[in-house]
Amino acid sequence: MKVLEIREDAAKIQFSNSELSILANTIRETIAALTREFVARVGASIAEGQKVEDLLTQAIDRNYESIELNLSKLELGILHSCLNEVCYGFKLADFELKIGASREEVRLIFEQVIPISREMRSILDEIKAAFIAKAKLNKKEFLLEGEGYKVSFDLSKRRLRQEEIGVSIRLFLETQISELSLKTHLDLMTTQDVRNFILELENYANSLNKASDDLISPLNIYNDLFQLQVENKKIEKEESEYANLSLMVHFTRSRPKVSEPFLGVKGMISIQNITSFTSSVREFLDCSIESMSLDTSDRSQ
């Protein structure tokens, strides 16, 4: 037996004709001995076991010294379990006659199969770890935090719709007697709309030093998901600079032709928080676009 390739869901293995015969006999005898317990002890149905037996039997070709087979994770698992049962499970009379090899020879084959199963699990674990890491990269929380409240923007990259960003907003209110937390359903905004939102906040943060009047920005509504309004006046407090920001979030769906209900807050947020928020979101958007390009190129190869 020679392992040619191992993936998380399959393995390409080169077998001799005698090995194929031994493995087919192993499955056949395991089914015969464990008819009522086969599913519980092998982890597959008898029909699935018989399919693997047929696959091995049909692959035998005396015209060739070796045959290459692609075995799925399930098929390899059936081989692994049946070899374990034959070697260490039930007692089989006339072992060598029925299997076509001695118990020691079958154990040697079993010892070659064990590392394949372990390697498949290891590869799958690595893929899962990479997927989780990538998911964390493509989904992130961004906070605007004022006195007595926090607004969390949860942004997520869309794999198949690159021009859109998943947006969910959570509003946390803290009072002297209670705490309130509300979260919107996941909605979609175009990447450009998110950039426009960030650009507006950046412009207001940059213009506060120049503003001389207590002007209020127009009420901008973003995708019917939230409304934003900022006072063009810098507030200095305890050696820090703040701006008054009004944020209204759409939490419910109203009936047609009825005004949409919004719930929100108005309060001071530090200029430093706004600047950190905008730069972090912009970095996330730029990183997301690069990741999307990589996803697309990977699928095209």
DSSP string, 35-86: TTTHHHHHSS-HHHHHHHHHHHHHH--TTSSEEEEEEEHHHHHHHHHHHHHH
**What's the CA gap between 67 and 52, in Å, rounded?**
15
- If you average pLDDT over every residue of the chain, what do you get? 82
Q: What integer pLDDT is reported at residue 62 of this predicted model?
A: 78
> 57-79, pLDDT tens digit by residue?
999 987 888 899 999 999 999 99
pLDDT band at residue 245 under the 50/70/90 scheme: confident
**What's the CA gap between 281 and 283, in Å, rounded?**
5
**What's the CA gap between 245 and 265, in Å, rounded?**
8
Give the whole-number percent of the chain exceeding pLDDT 90: 37
Give the whole-number percent of the chain exceeding pLDDT 70: 82
**What's the CA gap between 184 and 169, in Å, rounded?**
5
Contact (Cβ atoms closer than 8 angstroms) between residue 216 and residue 231:
yes
**What's the CA gap between 243 and 277, in Å, rounded?**
14
**What's the CA gap between 99 and 96, in Å, rounded?**
5
pLDDT at 256 over 50: no
**Which tokens is 123 given?**
């590869």
Higher pLDDT pick, 196 / 130: 196
Higher pLDDT pick, 176 / 297: 176
> 97-119, pLDDT tens digit by residue?
999 999 999 999 999 999 998 99
Q: What integer pLDDT is reported at residue 299 of this predicted model?
A: 40
pLDDT band at residue 19 under the 50/70/90 scheme: very high
Contact (Cβ atoms closer than 8 angstroms) between residue 46 and residue 31:
yes
Could you tell me which CATH class the domain 138-300 is placed in? mainly beta
CB burial of residue 212 (10 Å; 0-12, 13-18, 19+): exposed
What is the CA 63 to chain-centroid distance, rounded? 47
Tally of CB atoms within 10 A around 123: 14
Q: What integer pLDDT is reported at residue 293 of this predicted model?
A: 44
pLDDT at 39 over 60: yes
Q: Where are the alpha helices (DSSP H) in the chain?
A: 17-33, 38-42, 46-59, 73-88, 95-99, 103-137, 191-207, 271-300
pLDDT band at residue 298 under the 50/70/90 scheme: very low
**Range in 145-154, 189-198, 241-250, 271-280 the model is least confident about:** 241-250
Q: What integer pLDDT is reported at residue 297 of this predicted model?
A: 41
pTM to 2 decimals? 0.51
End-to-end alpha carbon distance in the chain: 31
